[in-house]
Amino acid sequence: MNRIKAIIATAAVALTAVSCGVVSFTGRNQLLLFSDSEIMALSDQSYAQLMKEETLSSDAASTRKVKEVGTKMVAALESYLKANGDTSALKGIKWEFQLVKSDQVNAFCMPSGKIVFYEGILKYADTPDYIAVVMGHEMAHAIAKHGNERMSQQSIMSILGSVASEAIGERKGDAAQTLFDVGFGIGAKAGVLLPYSRKHEYEADKIGMYIMDIAGYNVNAAPEFWEKMQGGNKSDASDFLSTHPSDAKRVAALREAIKSKPSF
Ligand SMILES: [Zn+2]
């Protein structure tokens, strides 16, 4: 039982150190167990590793287009957040925009603000407005600190997981059952991580659309883009769509968000 006590004590320490963040634009409360500097360091490390394996695009015109949209959106976002007196979402982020030589239909953003487009996605993101849809969505994941939140959730689940398995291992009846229920309820309620990542996707869509609006892009391009992706060549779209499932619900949620969006 001492071992269980030790684990619970560790969990308690971790939980009292919990920092609760608030997502810019949506006001959603989130669990952030890692500091911005830890996240940025991890992020830059894996970014450097990843880029060693990629070749930058030799298409100068497309590279310029991607960088232009990114630079314009970042400038608009930064001045908006400054004017509203809360730049905490930008803490530690150093934006960078790259176009990688690859037919993959893909794009991603590291939590430290390194945004990478693959040439293949420009088949769909073929106007500045559509580039802004992908750019805004990726920027949103970074400013909403989705990487930190996801890692925090996973840490909590692994702590609860070890508490539950220790308790079950020792067969302590009611105590074990309670611990397991807690672990199961928090960790496995229809898979906390799955709904959360869909939640993150929807939140990134919404915040991304707001950033587009602030930067002067046509927000209606956002639902159009996802419809275009849905109707696209399935094998083409496999990379981006596997992490960004596009369906009628996603498009409808975006249209709804556009109707009720604040004026910036
Ligand atoms: Zn996403």
Taking the centre of ligand 1 as the mean of its atom positions, its distance from the CA of residue 36, in whole angstroms, is: 20
The predicted-structure confidence for 79-131, as pLDDT tens digits, reads as follows 999 999 999 999 999 999 999 999 988 888 888 999 999 999 999 999 999 99
**138 a catalytic residue:** yes
Whether the predicted model's global pTM rises above the 0.85 cut: no
Among residues 210, 247, 218, the alpha carbon closest in space to that of 26 is found at: 210
> Which one of the listed residues 68, 78, 138, 227 is annotated catalytic?
138
The predicted-structure confidence for 182-240, as pLDDT tens digits, reads as follows 444 433 433 333 344 788 999 999 999 999 999 999 999 999 999 988 877 666 655 66
Taking the centre of ligand 1 as the mean of its atom positions, its distance from the CA of residue 198, in whole angstroms, is: 9
Taking the centre of ligand 1 as the mean of its atom positions, its distance from the CA of residue 168, in whole angstroms, is: 37
Taking the centre of ligand 1 as the mean of its atom positions, its distance from the CA of residue 243, in whole angstroms, is: 7
Question: Environment class of residue 136 by beta-carbon count within 10 Å: exposed (0-12), middle (13-18) or buried (19+)?
Answer: buried
